[in-house]
């Protein structure tokens, strides 16, 4: 089977990156270039966009050469839709449109935050952890639930990375390779802890007050020799990281999870990893973290996440390949996570896998979502809601004819074939009633391809909508 390959573009902040990745997570190439400003200065949107324009095409050439592929071998083109800075985001959006038309390749828009998570998961092997996403533009505590990455806590003002970067400007630290990295190195020399505001509000944190306080007092403290720059960096790190550990641990307790995955640029910080690792070990869990190759913005994370979506039929029309500065993590339907959950039950790991001929015995119930917003599959007496599947769930049941109240239950009106084999379409209400009446174990067996034709009943209609003659 031909391997699926994606080319990804990341340019939401001061780094422009191009990556080539396969569906199994193999990174074939991942070059990037960083816009570095003089000490004491940040990066502005216009100048950052000009930097990206200057370097993006050489990076594309380098990525293809390193990966040893041609444009013909690429299956899709992926880019960061947001969140991020407007002007830098526009560069990737324009380049992806041009290449799509030149190479005749489909486009996949990617959420920057979700891309960090998926890159962290594939690199570390973390299965279903609580995610701490910390960078220059974002600070969120996230966990996956029902098809989306849910935000359980976040900053209510500035991101932790922005807090560290701006304090680096106060100390006139170099921006090469990154201001946060230089704060980390200076903090290792700190010996005196200075009390700073500690602001945790439920599951959320605030960093603007801490930054204002330390900015206002740094000059006087250094002038009076009350402390050193290293002491200030050490104190700032210890304070903000302790806040992050607190809300992350609270999310772990709420979600009943033991493992943590740290992603985002600040996730490279070894002290943050150490503090989080201690907390995880005390709870009997594990910490998953990566180095700067994957924590820091890169094109490979965009390529991989886009390819996951593309593998399950997701594409972005050319006219919709726009960008946005605000794109919440929980706005994305992570269809590939839903499908992977399905694969754990059916044994079908990838799109297009063959289906076993032996389907077992008993009555067969096909539940088709059609145009409904939800469908239900039954598994071990429990209901499990899924959103807008384009496939068929096939559920194997024992012979339950004797269990059904023939005069009252909707299943009585189904067209039963010989041997109690029944291929039907049911709406949500019928399936819900069915779950309440039939008190026998239920097992999901297969995920079948779409039927060539189907008829769906109205949601209020409890009658069967016909049968489907389908051979997998």
* Binding site feature residues for a divalent metal cation: 112, 116, 133, 297
Distances (CA, A) of 81 to 107, 157, 316: 11, 22, 11
Annotated binding site: 112, 116, 133-137, 165, 180, 184, 269, 297
H-only helix segments in 25-111: 45-67, 86-103
Give the bridge partners for 140, in sequence order.
133, 154
- Closest CA relative to residue 288, chosen from 429, 107, 131: 131
CA distance 275 to 392: 46
For residue 69, count CB atoms less than 10 angstroms from its CB and return exposed for 0-12, middle for 13-18, buried for 19 or more: middle
State the first-to-last Cα distance of the chain, in angstroms, to the nearest integer.
Answer: 20
CA distance 94 to 305: 20
Phi, psi (rounded to 5 degrees) for 29:
-165, 155
Annotated binding site for substrate: 133-137, 165, 180, 184, 269
162 CA to centre of own chain: 22
Give the bridge partners for 23, in sequence order.
none
- Closest CA relative to residue 233, chosen from 248, 243, 218: 218
Distances (CA, A) of 131 to 148, 153, 276: 13, 11, 12
Residue 266: both structure tokens together: 């600040």
Residue 195: both structure tokens together: 């009390």
For residue 23, count CB atoms less than 10 angstroms from its CB and return exposed for 0-12, middle for 13-18, buried for 19 or more: middle
In this structure, are strands 287-288 and 260-263 parallel, antiparallel, or unpaired?
parallel
Cβ(131)–Cβ(143) under 8 Å? yes
């Amino acid at each position: 089977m031909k391997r699926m390959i994606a080319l990804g573009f990341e340019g939401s902040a001061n780094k422009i990156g191009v990556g080539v990745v396969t569906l199994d997570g193999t990174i074939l190439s991942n070059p990037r270039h960083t816009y570095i400003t003089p000490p004491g200065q940040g990066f502005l949107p216009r100048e950052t966009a000009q930097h990206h324009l200057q370097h993006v095409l050489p990076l594309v050439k380098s990525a293809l050469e390193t990966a040893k592929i041609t444009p013909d071998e690429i299956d899709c083109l992926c880019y960061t839709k947001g969140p991020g800075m407007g002007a830098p985001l526009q560069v990737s959006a324009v380049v992806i449109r041009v290449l799509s038309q030149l190479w005749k390749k489909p486009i996949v828009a990617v959420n920057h935050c979700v891309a960090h998570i998926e890159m962290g998961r594939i690199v570390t092997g973390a299965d279903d952890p609580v995610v701490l996403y910390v960078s220059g533009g974002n600070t969120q505590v996230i966990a996956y639930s029902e098809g989306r990455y849910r935000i359980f806590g976040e900053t209510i003002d500035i991101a932790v990375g922005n807090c560290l970067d701006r304090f680096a400007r106060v100390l006139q630290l170099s921006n090469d390779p990154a201001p946060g990295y230089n704060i980390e190195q200076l903090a290792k020399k700190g010996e005196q802890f200075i009390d700073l505001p500690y602001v945790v509000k439920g599951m959320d944190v605030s960093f603007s007050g801490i930054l204002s306080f330390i900015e206002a007092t740094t000059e006087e403290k250094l002038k009076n020799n009350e402390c050193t720059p290293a002491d200030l960096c050490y104190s700032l790190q210890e304070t903000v990281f302790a806040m992050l550990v607190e809300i992350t641990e609270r999310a772990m307790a709420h979600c009943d999870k033991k493992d943590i995955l740290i992603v985002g640029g600040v996730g490279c910080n070894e002290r943050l990893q150490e503090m989080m690792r201690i907390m995880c070990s005390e709870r009997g869990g594990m910490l998953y973290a990566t180095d700067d190759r994957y924590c820091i913005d890169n094109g490979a994370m965009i390529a991989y996440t886009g390819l996951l979506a593309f593998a399950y039929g997701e594409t972005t029309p050319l006219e919709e390949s726009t960008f946005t500065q605000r794109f919440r993590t929980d706005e994305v339907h992570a269809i590939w996570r839903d499908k992977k959950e399905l694969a754990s039950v059916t044994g079908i790991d990838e799109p297009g896998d063959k289906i076993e001929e032996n389907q077992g015995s008993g009555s067969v119930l096909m539940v088709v979502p059609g145009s409904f917003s939800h469908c239900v599959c039954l598994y071990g007496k429990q209901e499990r809601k899924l959103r807008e599947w384009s496939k068929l769930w096939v559920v194997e049941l024992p012979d339950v004819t004797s269990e059904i109240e023939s005069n009252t239950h909707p299943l009585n009106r189904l067209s039963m074939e010989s041997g109690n084999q029944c291929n039907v379409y049911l709406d949500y209400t019928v399936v819900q009633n069915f779950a309440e009446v039939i008190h026998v174990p239920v097992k999901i067996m297969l995920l079948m391809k779409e039927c060539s034709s189907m008829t769906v009943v109205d949601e209020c209609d409890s009658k069967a909508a016909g049968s489907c003659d389908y051979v997998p």
